[in-house]
Chain A
């Protein structure tokens, strides 16, 4: 491709001298990429959340800032930035200030191992999935700490609920992920996506098998559902938004937060939503692999394997999460624990048995 040559020259002209002076500059590229990914997805998601909720409730939603109200979230961010930032008198100041960033941290860390496109991965760790699970449990720490440091009973109750909920739901989440490890035989997310790519809807000969995404195998299908339910709880979205539950706990763990610190909790919630749907897309729905053509010629190159399909998949998954959010009422705390311990965990264990049979008879 001619354009590529031109672009390569251009990039080399700028990057090469910089690289010779400061070789560590290459490490900034993935960081920049992750930040753009997070900020962009959050800005769109806040708008989408409001539009989807408006749709479901037969309302119109944001309308005035930009086309279809697209710039609404930018205005929201500006509003939050200009607001007074209050810290309660009796709060533990240091912990209070650090807590929002602890909640936000895992979203950034986890994107390191998510393959967004073919080769578009910040670091392909060979223990990627372990890393994801380990990093994912940092967020709960931030929420508990936020609840404790606020010195407010509602915040504390919210933090305690978050602890109970996130510890509970990590079990079915990981048990459903184990199935994927068994079938793919690897912990590297890039390898997991590659093991799923190559299929297509069309069954076109000679070498196009049907979609070999994990969600089209029996254990993979069950695991996908279990994972998505547990993921809803992991990111504190309705119907599992017990840590926040604004009708019972004022606003839960973030009651005392205002201004941009509150905004960061908000950003963290949405980036975590994007993250869990990204993980689900990677593990169960083939990540960046295309369902139409894997290579493609001419025009169809656009629809080949690549970034496009990753974003299409997470868009669909996030829409489903929002759909569920605006459909189901919040569960009670005992129901929340019951769903996990009496529903998801037994199902996940049964599913592992199914996966063993699947790997033994059908093959990985």
Chain B
């Protein structure tokens, strides 16, 4: 809206009265024009959220996910860095030994998570666990909608962290770096 200079009010009371009436009518009409324009505007600004969604920022940090290799095995080495770094103490990892066959054909003992739980209700999505992860395997996805009727159901375990959905472009890139990271099982 253009800036409107204040109306000069006449000294003559009769002229001032009509100026008053005119300014009332004029400003009302101006306001009606603005809202009338908005009423006809399509598409509308808001969307019907659960039915349609706007794109959310690619840097959104929400529900966690553990990356897997091409065979569907988790890349996590159960080092516990995420558990140690978590300011909210909402990550719990336990470890188990697993024998895997390397591409060269030799058998190798590696650490894998036995259980891996994250309490989403306590998590503040600070991303520190993902940054601490030495194999870039834990990260926070953009999936922000996970409503439960019971707060205890918000504690997700290994099954909840290994999502069946296909990896996004970002996650594929993340996995490349994950396999470049120092090899697993060094801790023994």
Contact = CB atoms under 8 A, between A and B. Distances in A.
Q: At the interface, is chain B mostly helix, strand, loop or mixed?
A: helix
B147 interface: no
- The interface size bin for chain B is 10 to 19
Contact of B48 (A55, A63, A326, A343): A63
Contacts of B17: 342, 346
A328 B45 contact: no
A56 interface: yes
Interface in B24-42: 24, 28, 31-32, 34-36, 38-39, 41
A300 B45 CA distance: 41
Given A328-B28, A342-B20, A343-B24, A59 B46 contact: yes
A339 B44 CA distance: 35
A58 B31 contact: no
Interface string A319-333: 000011011100000
A364 interface: no
Given A342-B20, A343-B20, A343-B21, A59 B45 contact: yes
Q: At the interface, is chain A mostly helix, strand, loop or mixed?
A: helix
Given A323-B32, A323-B35, A326-B35, A59 B24 contact: no
Interface in A320-364: 323-324, 326-328, 339, 342-343, 346-347
B38 to A, nearest CB: 6
Nearest to B31: A327
Interface of A: 52, 55-60, 63, 323-324, 326-328, 339, 342-343, 346-347
Interface of B: 17, 20-21, 24, 28, 31-32, 34-36, 38-39, 41, 44-48
Given A55-B38, A56-B38, A323-B35, 9 more contacts: A57-B38, A58-B38, A58-B45, A60-B46, A326-B35, A327-B31, A328-B28, A342-B20, A347-B21
